[in-house]
């Protein structure tokens, strides 16, 4: 009976070691918080690329827009001090672990929703003039001289 007890305890220890913590990410991969921050920035870069493409009224082809977004992605990875290779390895690992990928995407959604809530309603009093005027004049954005948009600047330096 003593040998059976030792075998049972040894088996239990191996089972516990094999299972590990289901929420943990191995150290060689990007952790959930950092991965979610990277994906938030990439989502914003994608939206920015689409917005610039829409504002140019067809002057930018989809392939050019995709190349610009790739440049933004590389800048984002540089900001987070992550190599493309490490990001892809981590992203592939998360894809093979959907429960952890779900956690990351929930953080991404919460961050973007929080940012959207901070912007508020565009017609509120504290909104920029461009948005407040749209409630009265639908084409108000064309009536003001706005500075030209720089396609590289938004993702070069993050404010602390």
Q: Which residues contact 10 (CB under 8 A, 6 or more apart)?
A: none
pLDDT at 93: 95
Mean pLDDT of the chain, nearest integer = 74
Q: Which of 100, 98, 99 is nearest to 30 (CA)?
A: 100
H helix count then E strand count, the chain: 7, 0
State the Cα–Cα distance between residues 130 and 122, nearest whole angstrom.
Answer: 9
Q: Please tell me the pTM assigned to this model.
A: 0.62
State the Cα–Cα distance between residues 130 and 142, nearest whole angstrom.
Answer: 9
Q: Which two tokens stand for residue 55?
A: 């504002």
Maximum pairwise Cα distance, the chain:
89
State the Cα–Cα distance between residues 36 and 91, nearest whole angstrom.
Answer: 11
pLDDT at 62: 73
pLDDT at 68: 82
Task: Note the pLDDT tens digit of each residue in 75-119.
Answer: 999 999 999 999 999 999 999 999 999 999 999 999 999 888 877
Q: Which two tokens stand for residue 125?
A: 């009093």
Q: Which two tokens stand for residue 17?
A: 């070691």
Is the Cβ–Cβ distance between 12 and 4 less than 8 Å? Answer: no
């Amino acid at each position: 009976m003593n040998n059976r007890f030792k075998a049972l305890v040894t088996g239990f220890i191996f089972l516990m070691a094999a299972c590990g913590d289901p929420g943990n990410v191995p150290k060689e991969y990007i952790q959930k918080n950092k991965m979610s921050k990277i994906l938030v920035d990439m989502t914003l870069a994608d939206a920015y690329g689409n917005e610039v493409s829409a504002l140019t009224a067809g002057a930018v082809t989809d392939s050019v827009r995709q190349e610009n977004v790739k440049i933004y992605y590389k800048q984002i990875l540089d900001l987070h001090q992550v190599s493309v290779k490490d990001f892809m390895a981590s992203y592939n690992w998360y894809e093979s672990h959907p429960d952890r990928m779900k956690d990351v995407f929930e953080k991404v959604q919460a961050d973007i929703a929080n940012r959207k809530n901070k912007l508020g309603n565009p017609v509120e009093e504290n909104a920029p003039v461009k948005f407040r005027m749209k409630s009265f004049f639908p084409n108000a954005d064309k009536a003001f001289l706005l500075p030209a948009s720089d396609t590289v600047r938004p993702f070069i330096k993050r404010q602390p």
